[in-house]
Structure 1
Amino acid sequence: MKQYQPENIRNVVLLSHSGAGKTSLSEAMLFNAGVINRLGKVDAGTTTSDYDQDEIKRKISIGTTVLPYEWNDNKVNILDTPGYSDFAGEVEAAVRVCEGAVIVAAASSGIEVGTEQSWSYCENTNLARLFFINKMDRENANFDKITGEIQAKFGTKCIPIQMPVGAHTDFKGIVSLITMKYYAGERGEEADIPFEIKEQAASLRDKMVEAIAEADDGLMEKYLNGEELSQEEILSTLKKAIAEVKLFPILAGSALQNVSVNRLMSVINEYLPSPKDKKIDTSEDSAIKDITISTDGPLAALVFKTSADPYVGKLTYFKVFSGELDSNSQVWNVNQNNLERIGQLFIIRGKTQEPIAKISAGDMGAVAKLSITATGDTLCLQDKPIKIVPASHPKALFSVAVLPKTKADVDKLGPSLTRLTEEDPTLIVHRDADTGETIISGLGETQVEVAAEKMMRKFSVGVELKTPKV
């Protein structure tokens, strides 16, 4: 994969309630981009994103997966995140390194708790976002109803820029209210809008244009004076309003049937901001505070994820905010106040690793076997120390006592718990001074159960989970 300038990169996090179809959507995106030659299925355990054994077993996403593809001269890094609240730490970390979000909602389910949480993640970080109403091919799919729910819950600045044609078994494709063309089926070939829905499409376009005009004072004055707005004015104002978090487009489609997913991919390219469009947040104690996102700037790379593997060791995921990070180099870890040796860099896609010489500003990559670096650390130059604000992690809510099953497990318990907390900073381990028990705390029962299963599978440590003594 070639190097891209920051303006030609899109870092996009997929957010939703569990089961809305994020992973299926990411699979369709990879297929459309020619990265994979067949569509995997969540139920069959064959998707690119959910490759972990725990994810395949439970049929849910547990960790954030980085899924890069190339589309119309841009590189897009999709971050597929878990929908279960137990794994909210993964979501917070992914949101921190993205400039845009796609909130996925199921057309038949409406707004759910996870949808509201997804919106909150974006609000807390001032993240540009759009909605993708998925599962338009399902029974009880109702675009108008869920659009009304979105506007009632999140405001009238959430505006449809597409209109689905049909629903359930009659779902055929979408009308773009921007181009006023009809895109049918998986290929989404452009055609004229069918006569019987032209009036409805025109009415929705008028509402869209009015909402776009309201985002710009000069355009609104022109609109109120009855002057026609040019297509160029509409498109440029829409893009600016999305980047400034003033408008939130609503799109529709079916990830499983791969209908209108290619239109979503084009909207991501054209309207979601690039790394150049978002300010870098540096810590108060950062020696250098004002950074421009540029490949020519001083190196600043934030570690947003760590995965522990018994064979390859620790795999560190990072985003370069400024400068370039080279393979086989030496950098300064400003958090640990020490030098770190960088080996071979990789572009990660699910479980596959593609070696690359360097990762440039705006892009993401990974490196194995770092010795001192942890999630949340910034890698930079020793003579130009920069510290980037890391993701904030939710506090633990659920605790259990961890007991080794056999004598052989006793000695391995401590090191394996350390590896788990490196991988998931929301897991907290401590020893209760009064009871002598080892306590592991997390965001929920499922998260802790998954941690126990990982200990057995990855590190061959058998444990029992029990209610802590009082």
Structure 2
Amino acid sequence: MTFIKTVSSRLCRQFRKVVWNRRKYGTEIRNIGIMAHIDAGKTTTTERMLFYSGYIKKMGDIDSGNTVMDYLPSEIERGITVQSAAISFHWNEAQINLIDTPGHVDFTIEVERSLRVLDGAVAIFDASRGVEAQSRTVWMQADNHNIPRLAFINKMDKTEASFTNSVDSLKRRLKANTLILQLPVIQDCQYIGVVDLITMERMEWDMNVVNPNQHGRKYNKHKLTRTDEGWGNMVAARTSIIEQLSDIYDEVALLWLDGENAGNAEKFPTVELKKWIRQGTLDQTIVPVLCGSSFKNIGIQPLLDAVVDYLPRPEQIQHSFLQYYNDTLSAMAFKVLHDKRLGSIIFVRVYSGHLRSGGTIYNVNKQSEEKIGRLMSVYADEYKDTKQIEAGNIAVISGFQNTVTGDTLVESKEAFEAAVNKANVLHRQQDDGNHSVVLAAVKIPEPVFFCSVEVYSPTQEKALRHALDVLCREDPSVRATIDDGGSIMLSGMGELHMEIISERIKTEFKVDAYFGPIQVAYRECPSVQATHKAAYKRTILDSNYEIEIGIQISPSAEAGTVTDPSQVLKPLYNPELCHSAALGVVQAFQQGNLLGYPVMSATVQLLAVRAKRGCPPGLVTATAIKCTREALDKAACDLLEPVMNIEITTRGENLLQNILGDLAKRQAKVHNIESSDNEGNMKIVAEAPVSEMKGYASRLRSSTSGNADLSLQISGYQVVSEERKHHLKNLMRNFG
């Protein structure tokens, strides 16, 4: 009887939990992202998903520039994804909120802020190339955010495609514990379908079908039997799945060893397999692997099935901050976009509670209220008004004035204060775990390229500043600053990034502007801790002031620059005076003493700020600039330059020596050379200064007649040698 009561109470608790989750999240939701290296087929795959779900009636094509998700002129012209785009559609009674992310290294911030709000992801790989540089980067980003994912080996129709090699590269380069759920079907040297090892079904697409209404929507499904060719291999592959799961979960091992169908892979329950594959995906102990050809319309429906079957619902992802809000609203702004009709709009992921049209919410980061103008569901570049957005969903809001990427949004100031109090109580009770009530902000990388921007007419000055304000708010990795001479300097993450920004300023904002040559953004950083205290006498309009400032500058492991007074550590007394001094520190850090580049990787502390009552704030700021520059001299600053990881895959060994010779001329350090497959192709992994790699893609393409693939990725900053520093100083002198 006790056992029955215990089971009954457990069932009741489970039932209440299910009912609560249904009430909280409303329907089956999957918040997923599509991530991959450039040209692996992300947008094409997304287009097929929309078509087969019935969201669109005709599939678009990247070459034709008519895909749903790539709608910006720069995306259509180049055939690449520049901005992440979100869309909602339904599959098997589940609502899928999907974000298609860029694959180009210049737009890593787009991937980062999208991953921040996702519950699961589909990682796409080119079957002829396996794991590439940017696919490895986005995989690591997903690791950092603990995102469960599926792997989709795309482009299986290519002559050089290899499913086996691609899976091996996932194991070797990503350390992924792959679980192969499908095998490719090849007939007469043509890829035509997949074998589903879970349901033991063979799915074939008729490659000769020309009916435009088909486009891969219909396919033949055949239940495999012992009489089918390759039956033994397929049973062996299914056995491997069961054994892998048995190694992880005791429950599977018991079924496999002592269950009704023990040791019989053919009859092992499909329901149990799906259950534990899902659990392994959520636990991130396995990565299910599927295959297909998005371009040839093969394998997308089974991929959608896998998204629903194996990727998590919102309530299955643990977020520590949710415990403090008692089901009231908590949400994160993860993207800002400028819409021609709506103005500035904010993409928001709702974690708990709900958003209501016309309501007021509280921005924790800005400590201010925001009024919801219009509340909308998102469909790529189209938005539909809605009255309410439930937890687990993604929304678009217009009317916000101050909200930017990474801000935490809650129901009210009172709700936030209550959450803080609850977190403080828990922190006193248990001094372990994360007790933050604010969602972790998106980490913004340092820009590595810059150029000057000028307008041809003074009447365009206001339009330019508006365009820069909009673009910097949209994309946190874009920076616009004014140097000592009053010139506007525009910074970004790469040459392509800078080109697209300049194009948008000219075409989208109609600003007739001149953009100077794109230059590498060097940095300066302190090499030793330095303390400097001094008293400065100043005279303004016969009034004499003595200002005393003490400052300490220390090297820091953090790679960012000091761009805001709040980053400067200050004394607790006289906050207005200390703020004025901190403004001076920030200004001084924008142009270092070596070559005038911003100072980074530094911690700054104002030790003392004293001045006679009535001293003008501007005078304190100017004095702090002088004191900071003197402290920087003592800190023995080094010059830093951005470096990038290089990955080159050659088709043919005879190209290797020429490529290595060219890399040597560009100051590159070669880290590894390995065979990428069994056909004599080689992979070179190296690192080189960004300044040396400008134009290298074109050079490599011409020198190898297109028989080499290049991936470049910014990897950080390194100290410039004395010889190279001398060389750069001469260049600066000549430029000046």
Aligned twin of 1:277: 316
- Name the aligned partner's letter for residue 268 of structure 1: V
The CA distance in 2 between the partners of 1:327 and 1:358, in whole Å, is: 6
CA contact (8 A) 2:27 2:95 kept: no
The residue type equivalent to 1:141 in the other structure is A
Measured in 2, the distance between the counterparts of 1:180 and 1:360 equals: 38
Shift of 1:121: 1.2
3-state SS in 2 of match to 1:166: strand
Judged with a 3 Å threshold, the aligned counterparts in structure 2 of structure 1 residues 200 and 53 are, in CA distance, closer, same or farther, namely: same
Q: Deviations over 1:15-70 (max 9, x none)?
A: 10000000000000000110000100011110000011111111110000002111
Q: Check if 1:51 corresponds to 2:71.
A: yes
Q: Kindly tell me the number of residue pairs found equivalent between the two proteins.
A: 458
Cα gap change, 1:372/1:48 in structure 2, threshold over 3 Å: closer, same or farther? Answer: same
Deviation of residue 323 (structure 1)?
Answer: 0.6
In structure 2, what is the Cα distance between the partners aligned to 1:432 and 1:365?
38
Residue in 1 aligned with 2:490?
A: 440
- 1:67-90, Cα deviation, whole Å (9 max, x unpaired): 211111110011000000101111
Which stretches of structure 1, 4 residues or longer, exceed 6 Å deviation after superposition? none
1:325-380 CA-partner distances (Å, limit 9, x unpaired): 01111111122211111122111111111221111000011022322222211221
**C-alpha contact 1:64 1:82 (8 A) present in aligned 2:** yes
Q: Does residue 209 of structure 1 match 2:248?
A: no
Q: Which residue of 1 aligns with 2:103?
A: 83
Structure 2 unaligned residues grouped into runs of 5+: 1-22, 206-215, 417-436, 520-595, 597-731
Mapping for residues 135-174 of structure 1, pairs under 5 Å: 135-155=155-175, 157-166=177-186, 170-174=190-194
2:230 to 191, 194, 197: 197
Supply the distance in 1 between the matched residues of 2:385 and 2:356 (Cα, whole angstroms).
Answer: 11
User: Is this contact kept in 2: 1:299–1:324, CA < 8 A?
Assistant: yes
Preserved CA contact (<8 Å) 2:242 2:252: no
2:511 to 457, 461, 464: 461
SS at match of 1:196: coil
Checking the alignment, whether the CA contact within 8 Å between 2:333 and 2:347 is kept in structure 1 is yes
> Would you say 1:315 and 2:345 are equivalent positions?
yes
Which moves more between the two structures, 102-111 or 191-200? 191-200
Instruction: Say if 1:304 and 1:390, in contact at 8 Å, map to a contact too.
Output: no
Q: Which amino acid aligns with 1:305?
A: K
How far apart are residue 123 of structure 1 and its match? 1.0
Alpha-carbon distance between aligned partners in 1 of 2:297 and 2:306, rounded to the nearest angstrom: 16
Distance in 2, matches of 1:315 and 1:164, equals 43
Q: Offset of 1:401 from its aligned partner?
A: 1.9
Could you list the per-position Cα deviations for residues 415-450 of structure 1 after superposition, in whole angstroms to 9, with x for gaps in the alignment?
Answer: 2111101110111221222x4332222211111111
Matched, 1:412 2:463: yes
Aligned to 2:601: none
Instruction: Check the 8 A contact 1:141/1:167 in 2, yes or no.
Output: no
Verify the 8 A CA contact 1:4 1:75 in the aligned structure 2. Answer: no
Describe how 1:376-387 pairs up with structure 2 within 5 A: 376-382=406-412, 383-385=414-416, 387=438
Q: Does residue 324 in structure 1 map to residue 340 in structure 2?
A: no
1:65 to 2:124 alignment: no
8 Å CA contact 1:157–1:211 kept in 2: the answer is no
**Structure 1 letter corresponding to 2:289:** I
Structure 1 residues 68 and 167: CA distance shift in structure 2, 3 A: farther
| Counterpart for residue 115 of structure 1 | 135
Identity of matched residues, %: 28
Is structure 2 residue 478 aligned with structure 1 residue 427? Answer: yes
Aligned partners of 1:398 and 1:316: how far apart in 2? 27
SS of residue in 1 equivalent to 2:60: coil
Identify which of 317, 336, 342 aligns with 2:366.
336
Looking at CA atoms only, which structure, 1 or 2, has the larger radius of gyration? 2
RMSD of aligned alpha carbons: 2.2
Q: 2: CA distance between counterparts of 1:83 and 1:181?
A: 33
- Tell me the alpha carbon deviations over residues 214-256 of structure 1, each in whole angstroms, 9 at most, x when there is no partner: 2213434664679345433322221111001100011001112
Cα distance between partner residues in 1 of 2:26 and 2:152: 25
Q: Which residue of 1 aligns with 2:405?
A: 375
Aligned: 1:353 with 2:383: yes
Distance 2:316 2:445 in 1: 27
Q: Shift of residue 309 of structure 1?
A: 2.8
Deviates more, 1:107-116 or 1:181-190: 181-190
Q: Distance in 2 between matches of 1:168 and 1:390?
A: 52
The answer to which of 187-196 and 329-338 deviates more is 187-196
The answer to whether the 8 A contact 1:378-1:388 is kept is yes
Q: Is 1:97 aligned to residue 148 of structure 2?
A: no
Conserved 8 A contact 1:137-1:168: no
Distance 1:88 1:171, change over 3 A: same
Query: Does the CA-based 8 Å contact 1:314-1:369 persist in structure 2?
Result: yes
Range moving further from structure 2, 37-46 or 207-216: 207-216
Alpha-carbon spacing, 1:128–1:148, altered in 2? closer, same or farther (3 Å): same
Deviations 1:170-207 (A, max 9, x none): 11111111111111222244212382232222222122
Of 166-175 and 222-231, deviating more is 222-231
Q: 1:346 to 1:236 in 2, by over 3 A?
A: same
- Contact 2:333–2:406 under 8 Å retained in 1: yes
Q: How far 1:257 moved relative to its partner? A: 2.0
